[in-house]
């Protein structure tokens, strides 16, 4: 019996492994291994890191060239789960807030990482907000569980890796010359996501159409203000081969009537992004939007995202899984859920040039899950 199976058996965790084809066998661990495993506790480590973007990233409200992240490890008897908090400025989190929150997380009080419901309830209740920081713990814990059972998360969840969607590749707002260059770089992708909302929307789309006729989706980031003008633009976008529109107008409740009107009359699905954060936001948005864009950094991680997908499907809403600019850690985590969604925007790791992980790949434009345990990543460095 190898050391991993000794760890599982001695902590009573082989039942979980058996669900995915593991066999308990007849071996009995030695007393020394039993003692070591039963005394194991989880240790949380974290380190600040800045992602460097390949291009200036511009949306309707701002531009940036870097994104702060917090890299997280949960070590359990030498088995390490990796997590990440990606924190673009609009989330209101930072290296400082994440470090403050994570320093409060005491995982050594739990006897087993398989007490995932208890652990994540505890983490969620430590402080309000801090969703990206909470997501980093959630991701690391799920990665750890997959490694302990020696299975990818998608397999533990019973998901078919062949059902993953294509991922869009994001084209930020820029000059026509730069936009053309970005589109050429996106040649391997089958659908492009175009940022709009700064007054040059038709120029952006028309410029892209001089280079490619691939399907497009657009993200307006609340950039439109008039519902009638918005509807006219949506009709024009449909003629240009756009398949859905993300967050066209304000996320505020004061704009809900206008959003509901636009969704009702729109020839394209209207997807909530900024208007949506946690599972509590899903039900109120039914009828106001056609679907939702779920991001691990906004909702708190994989556990919360699963609940949001289930609720949205119960209301016949479209589901998209998106991302922040992030390393392959956060992207590979979100990708584990991609067989459940209609659309994916999981290109955040492709927009940077200092990724510290290797994980899920995009092959022929499609999110392609690997056989690696947990979230399927390898750390290019010794530790975080």
Band the pLDDT of 40: cuts 50, 70, 90: confident
**Distance of alpha carbon 152 from the chain centroid:** 16
Q: Cα(65)–Cα(51) distance, rounded to whole angstroms? A: 9
Position 380 pLDDT exceeds 90: no
Band the pLDDT of 57: cuts 50, 70, 90: low
Position 377 pLDDT exceeds 80: yes
Q: Determine how many CB atoms are found less than 10 A away from the CB of residue 104.
A: 11
Q: Please give the pLDDT value at position 60.
A: 58
Position 365 pLDDT exceeds 50: yes
User: Poorest-confidence range of 17-21, 61-65, 151-155, 201-205?
Assistant: 17-21
Tell me: the pLDDT tens digits for 20-29? 333 333 333 3
**How many residues in total does the chain contain?**
384
Tell whether pTM > 0.85.
yes
Residue 20 CB-density burial (10 A; 0-12 exposed, 13-18 middle, 19+ buried): middle
Q: Please give the pLDDT value at position 65.
A: 85
CATH class entry, domain 156-379: alpha beta
Per the DSSP assignment, residues forming a β-bridge with 45 are 73
Tell me: the pLDDT tens digits for 324-345? 999 999 999 999 999 999 999 9
Band the pLDDT of 90: cuts 50, 70, 90: confident
CATH architecture of 43-150: 2-Layer Sandwich (3.30)
Q: Please give the pLDDT value at position 18.
A: 30
Q: Using an 8 Å Cβ cutoff, are 37 and 77 in contact?
A: yes
User: Poorest-confidence range of 69-83, 234-248, 307-321, 368-382?
Assistant: 368-382
Q: Using an 8 Å Cβ cutoff, are 365 and 341 in contact?
A: no
DSSP SS3 for 261: helix
What average pLDDT does this structure show over 241-263? 98
Band the pLDDT of 381: cuts 50, 70, 90: confident
Which is more confident, 57 or 180?
A: 180
Band the pLDDT of 73: cuts 50, 70, 90: very high
Q: What is the DSSP letter of 223?
A: -
Tell me: the pLDDT tens digits for 172-212? 899 999 999 999 989 999 999 999 999 999 999 999 999 99
Q: Determine how many CB atoms are found less than 10 A away from the CB of residue 168.
A: 27
What whole-number percentage of the chain has pLDDT above 70? Answer: 87
Position 12 pLDDT exceeds 80: no
DSSP-assigned states of every residue in 24-62: --S----HHHHHHHHT--EEEEEEEEEEEEEEEEE-SS-
Q: Determine how many CB atoms are found less than 10 A away from the CB of residue 261.
A: 15
**Residues contacting 303, CB < 8 A, separation 6+:** 116, 120, 138, 142
Q: Please give the pLDDT value at position 54.
A: 87
Average pLDDT, the chain: 90
Position 5 pLDDT exceeds 90: no
Q: Determine how many CB atoms are found less than 10 A away from the CB of residue 63.
A: 11
Band the pLDDT of 384: cuts 50, 70, 90: low
Q: Please give the pLDDT value at position 142.
A: 98
Domain limits, the chain: 1-33, 43-150, 156-379
Which two three-digit tokens encode residue 42?
């989880």
What average pLDDT does this structure show over 54-64? 68
C-alpha distances out from residue 209 to 176, 237, 308, 364, 380, Å: 11, 12, 35, 21, 38
Q: Please give the pLDDT value at position 25.
A: 31
Residue 93 CB-density burial (10 A; 0-12 exposed, 13-18 middle, 19+ buried): buried
Q: Please give the pLDDT value at position 283.
A: 97
What average pLDDT does this structure show over 349-378? 96
**Residues contacting 260, CB < 8 A, separation 6+:** 287, 288
Question: In angstroms, what is the C-alpha Rg of the chain?
Answer: 22
């Amino acid at each position: 019996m190898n050391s991993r199976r000794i760890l599982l058996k001695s902590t009573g965790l082989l039942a979980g492994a058996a669900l995915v084809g593991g066999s308990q066998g007849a071996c009995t661990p030695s007393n020394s291994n039993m003692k070591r495993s039963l005394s194991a506790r989880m240790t949380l480590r974290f380190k600040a890191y800045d992602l460097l973007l390949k291009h200036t990233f511009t949306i309707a409200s701002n531009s940036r060239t870097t994104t702060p992240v917090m890299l997280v490890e949960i070590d359990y008897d030498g088995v390490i789960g990796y997590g990440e908090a990606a924190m673009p400025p609009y989330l209101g989190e930072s290296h400082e807030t994440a470090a403050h929150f994570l320093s409060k997380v005491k995982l050594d009080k739990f006897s087993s990482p398989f007490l995932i419901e208890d652990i994540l309830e505890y983490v969620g209740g430590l402080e309000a907000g801090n969703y990206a920081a909470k997501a980093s713990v959630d991701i690391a814990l799920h990665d750890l569980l997959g490694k302990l059972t020696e299975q990818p998360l998608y397999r533990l969840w019973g998901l078919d890796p062949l059902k993953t969607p294509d991922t869009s590749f994001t084209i930020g707002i820029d000059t026509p010359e730069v936009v053309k260059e970005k589109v050429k770089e996106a040649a391997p992708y089958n659908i492009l996501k175009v940022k709009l909302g700064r007054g040059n929307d038709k120029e952006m789309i028309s410029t892209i159409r001089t280079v490619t006729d691939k399907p497009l989706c657009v993200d307006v980031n609340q950039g439109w203000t008039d519902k009638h003008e918005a509807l006219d633009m949506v009709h024009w976008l449909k003629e240009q081969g756009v398949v859905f529109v993300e967050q066209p107008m304000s996320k505020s409740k004061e704009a809900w009537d206008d959003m509901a009107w636009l969704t009702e009359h729109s020839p394209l699905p209207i997807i909530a992004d900024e208007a949506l954060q946690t599972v509590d936001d899903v039900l109120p948005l039914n009828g106001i939007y056609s679907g939702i864009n779920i991001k691990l950094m906004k909702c708190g991680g994989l556990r919360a995202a699963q609940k949001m997908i289930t609720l949205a499907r119960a209301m016949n809403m479209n589901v998209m899984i998106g991302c922040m600019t992030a390393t392959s850690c956060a992207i590979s985590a979100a990708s584990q859920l991609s067989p459940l969604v209609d659309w994916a925007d999981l290109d955040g790791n492709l927009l940077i040039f200092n990724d510290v992980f290797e994980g899920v790949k995009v092959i022929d434009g499609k999110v392609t899950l690997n056989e690696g345990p947990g979230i399927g990543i390898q750390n290019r460095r010794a530790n975080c």
